[in-house]
Amino acid sequence: MKRKRFSAVVCGLLIAGFLLGACAPAVATPGREAVVGNPTYEDPLTPADGSNISERRPSISWTVQPNGQEIASFRMHLDGQAVKPVRTVRGSAVVFAYKPERELLPGIHTASVTITFDGYQPLTLTSRFTIVSNPVKPFAGKDSTQLQLMEAEAVSHLNSIRKTLAISDLSTNPSLTAAAQSHSNFLQINHLVGHYQNERYPGFTGITPQDRAAFFGYSGVATEGIDYGISSPRMSIEGLIDAPYHRLGLINPNDREVGAGFSLQSYNMVINAGNSDDRNDDRAMRYPYAGQTDAKSSWFVAESPNPLASYHKDRMYVGYPVSLSFHDTKTRELRLLAASFKDSAGNDISHYVVDSSRESESKKYIFLIPQLPLKSGETYQIKIEAQRILTDGSIKPIYEAWSFTTRATVAIDYLGLVNLEGVENLQLKLRNGDIEDVSYLLIRDGEIVRKYNAEQGFSWTNAGPLSPGRYRLQLASPSLSPDLIEYTVEIQESSGKRRSVTVVDQANLGPIPAVRAGLMRLAGRDHIELFWQSGKPAGVSYVLKRGGEVWRSYSADRYYSQRGPSLPDGDYLLEISKSGAPELSQYILSLYTDNGERRVLLTPVK
């Protein structure tokens, strides 16, 4: 009888900041189509061949899928000596694992396994790995308490999202935490971004996330996600969930463990998820999830790799991405047949489709990305008809239909402080998503100390630090609400050098005005600063009068001029002119003091 051979392809796939581990198992006989029932394997022998590890008693393990075939024999050797592995059945997989009784010496070691199935040729796998003599210590010199608190915040928020999807919580794993922290350190030390390390650079612990997880003793399949630029673990998780490729690595129902590391200097968060068991959970994962009532409306495309690369679209505002994905090892491809995206009135929502026909690597997901931001408080229906192509060649029909509703009201999700060009600014994130027309004024004692809109970005007149205390934050977004919302916020000193920003109160100020006013202090003198909701007009000038006298004036060529250093409380006439506009716009500008704080009120003259 001719004996058959079986083998497998092991691959890593970098998508969206997440490096995904093993791919679907390949079938056994080279040059032939898959045959149902052939034994397969999807993971390499661990520790992986060529890897460096710090663990002196590493777990030598290998996982195989017998697929109904009988294992005739199995042998494992470590440094040429036969050892007795523990055999464990995990679902449809069989795991062989051995942990040395004593610590191994630093240097090169060789592990091998040989397995024989009835009717098949024997298969032998070999791994040569190195135990390093001076392992990297990722927590040396770090504030371990602070890092543990940040990891707990990230994991807690991720698990709260996973609960809404009815998938299991992730528990922290020390090896994954060490791997994540070591890579966060590596990126910070070397001023780099990305998932891969170079062994010539300081802090090296492994080229890939899987290598780094193994370096610290993790024997399962590990994935990695990285977020940059916001000093909030919770918001880093939100950012990864918003980006459709990154999302896939966080909502995998097969994962069971997690670890996160952080750089507190140049902020980054590295998160590793993993699973030491089989990956056979084949539930369809939908996001936003069915029945969600607070889905985000929009997203700014800034993901690498770019999900809209095939459309040549990038760095733009779109609607919030919808995803349907499978994460098991038996699924080879999710092939789209038809999709619809409709609002509550049955109107079609124009959208970009990202599916297996546009992807060259992983093909187990479908993204529907609206071309324009979604409306707030609107319900949307999604229908997807597809085929799930399995690794054995069989096809399962897929029909998914669900609905979700976008958040109806404006809500702040995060307030923090960020340093831009050496100037401290307020960083703001909305629960509504990345909103293009959002703007804000940060006011203290009547003075506009910071402002932001999408056209001009962050701006300021006084570059001094934002000292602790209370401020008024005026927030406007015509696409979300016709009203101007004012929040009372407080900047507080917190543990270490970190400072927090919290919302104390909020009030609705009525319809968003076309122009707002506040104080600005230049060279110790009070001036009036104007803020236009739709952008500053060209050639604007103004005159501020009281009792027939000009107290302040501004024009592009003369800039600011003044009478006296301060503007006393009272009512003023503000006349604004624009180039090409024959008529003046007149306002009553009222300066007054309320509870020890100066305020500015602008009322149009009818």
Q: What is the pLDDT of residues 369-394, one digit of tens each?
A: 999 999 999 999 999 999 999 988 99
Q: Are residues 361 and 423 in the same domain?
A: no
Record the pTM.
0.86
Q: Are residues 310 and 403 in the same domain?
A: yes
pLDDT of 20 higher than 70: no
pLDDT of 2 higher than 60: no
Q: Are residues 148 and 178 in the same domain?
A: yes
Mean pLDDT of 263-284: 90
Q: What is the pLDDT of residues 326-384, one digit of tens each?
A: 999 899 999 999 999 999 999 999 999 999 999 988 999 999 999 999 999 999 999 99
Alpha carbon 215 to its chain centroid, in Å, reads 25
Q: Which of 60, 68, 86, 75 is nearest to 123 (CA)?
A: 75
Q: Are residues 274 and 288 in the same domain?
A: no
Q: To the nearest whole percent, how much of the chain has pLDDT over 90?
A: 72
Q: Are residues 77 and 124 in the same domain?
A: yes
Does some domain include residue 559? yes
Round to whole Å and give the CA distance between 350 and 348. Answer: 6
Q: Are residues 449 and 564 in the same domain?
A: no
Question: What pLDDT is recorded for position 538?
Answer: 82
Alpha carbon 501 to its chain centroid, in Å, reads 21
Mean of per-residue pLDDT scores for the chain: 89
> What is the domain extent for residue 86?
52-131
Query: Do 214 and 189 touch, CB atoms closer than 8 A?
Result: no
Peptide bond preceding 253 in cis form (omega within 30 of 0)? no
Span of 308-322, 382-396, 507-521, 552-566 with lowest mean pLDDT:
552-566
Does some domain include residue 435? yes
Q: Are residues 442 and 395 in the same domain?
A: no
Round to whole Å and give the CA distance between 69 and 82. Answer: 25
Q: Are residues 159 and 262 in the same domain?
A: yes
Q: What is the pLDDT of residues 23-55, one digit of tens each?
A: 333 323 322 233 446 888 867 888 989 889 999
Of 88, 104, 131, the residue at which a domain comes to its end is 131
Q: Are residues 571 and 497 in the same domain?
A: no
Task: Give the residue with greater pLDDT, 395 vs 92.
Answer: 395
Round to whole Å and give the CA distance between 227 and 238. Answer: 10
Place of tokens 């068991």: 277
- The H or E element that residue 95 is part of is strand 93-98
Q: Are residues 431 and 497 in the same domain?
A: yes
Q: Which of 274, 257, 181 is nearest to 223 (CA)?
A: 274
Q: Name 269's bridge partners.
A: 227, 262
Q: Are residues 98 and 156 in the same domain?
A: no
Query: Do 117 and 66 touch, CB atoms closer than 8 A?
Result: yes
Q: What is the pLDDT of residues 220-259, one digit of tens each?
A: 889 999 999 888 999 999 999 999 999 999 999 999 999 9
Round to whole Å and give the CA distance between 45 and 19. Answer: 19
- Report how many domains make up the chain: 5
pLDDT of 200 higher than 50: yes
pLDDT of 516 higher than 90: yes
Does some domain include residue 595? yes
Does some domain include residue 25? no
Question: What pLDDT is recorded for position 276?
Answer: 80
CA dihedral 458, 461, 465, 466 (to 10 degrees): -70
Round to whole Å and give the CA distance between 254 and 327. Answer: 7
Q: What is the pLDDT of residues 450-459, one digit of tens each?
A: 999 877 788 8
Round to whole Å and give the CA distance between 340 and 368. Answer: 9
DSSP 572: E
Of 131, 154, 189, the residue at which a domain comes to its end is 131
pLDDT of 496 higher than 60: no
Mean pLDDT of 507-531: 90
Contacting residues for 579 by C-beta, under 8 A, at least 6 apart: 537, 538, 539, 540
Question: What pLDDT is recorded for position 560?
Answer: 81
Contacting residues for 454 by C-beta, under 8 A, at least 6 apart: 436, 437, 438, 439
Of 512, 546, 573, the residue at which a domain comes to its end is 512
Q: What is the pLDDT of residues 521-574, one digit of tens each?
A: 888 888 999 998 887 888 889 999 999 899 999 887 777 877 778 899 999 999
Does some domain include residue 47? no
